[in-house]
A = this chain, B = another copy of it.
Amino acid sequence: MTTIPVVPPPAPDGAATLDREVGLRLYRTMLECRMFEQRTHELFLAGLVRGTTHLGLGQEAVAAGFAGAMRTDDWTFCTYRGHNHTLARGVPMTPVLLELVGKQGALMGGKGGSMHLTSVEHGAMGSYAIVGAHLPIAVGAAWSAQYRGTEQVAVCFFGDGTTNIGAFHEALNMAAVWKAPVVFVCENNQYMEYTPIRSVTAVERPAADRASAYGLEPLVVDGNDVEAVYEMANLVIDRARRGDGPSLVEALTYRQGGHSRADPGKYRPDEEVAAWLARDPIPTYRQRLLDAGMVGAELEAIETEVKALVAEAERVAREAPDPEPETATTQLWADGGSAWRS
Expressed in whole angstroms, the Cα–Cα distance for A181 and B334 within the complex equals 52
**Size bracket, chain A contacts:** 20 to 34
Mark contacts of A134-177 with chain B using CB atoms, 8 A cut-off: 1 yes-contact digit, 0 otherwise: 00000000000000000000000000000011111110111011
Q: How far is the CA of A213 from the CA of B174 in the complex (A)?
A: 17
Known A-B contacts A172-B202, A202-B215, A212-B213; A166 and B164 likewise in contact (beta carbons under 8 Å): no
A17, chain B: closest CB distance, angstroms: 35
CB distance from A131 to the nearest CB of B (A): 12
Q: Which chain B positions have C-beta within 8 A of A212?
A: 203, 209, 212-213
How far apart are A214's CB and chain B's nearest CB, in angstroms? 4
Q: Which residues of B contact A199 (CB under 8 A)?
A: 177
| Contact residues in B for A168 (Cβ distance below 8 Å) | 166, 169
- Closest-CB distance, A282 to chain B (whole angstroms): 34
Task: Provide the A223-247 mask, 1 if CB < 8 A to any CB of B, else 0.
Answer: 0000000000000000000000000
CA A169 – CA B173 in complex, angstroms?
11
Most buried by B among A169, A174, A177, A201: A169
**In the assembled complex, A278 has its CB within 8 A of some CB on chain B:** no
List residues of A (304-326) whose CB comes within 8 Å of B's CBs.
none
Q: Give A209 to B166 CA distance when docked, in angstroms.
A: 17
From known contacts A165-B170, A168-B169, A169-B169, infer whether A200 and B177 are also in contact, taking CB-CB under 8 Å: yes
In the complex, what distance in Å separates the CA atom of A170 from the CA atom of B164? 6
Residue on B with the closest CB to A200? B177
Residues of A within 8 A of B (CB): 164-170, 172-174, 176-177, 199-203, 209-210, 212-216
A sample of 20 inter-chain contacts (CB < 8 A) reads A164-B169, A164-B173, A165-B166, A165-B169, A166-B167, A166-B170, A169-B170, A173-B201, A173-B202, A177-B200, A177-B201, A202-B213, A202-B214, A202-B216, A203-B212, A203-B213, A203-B214, A209-B212, A209-B213, A212-B212
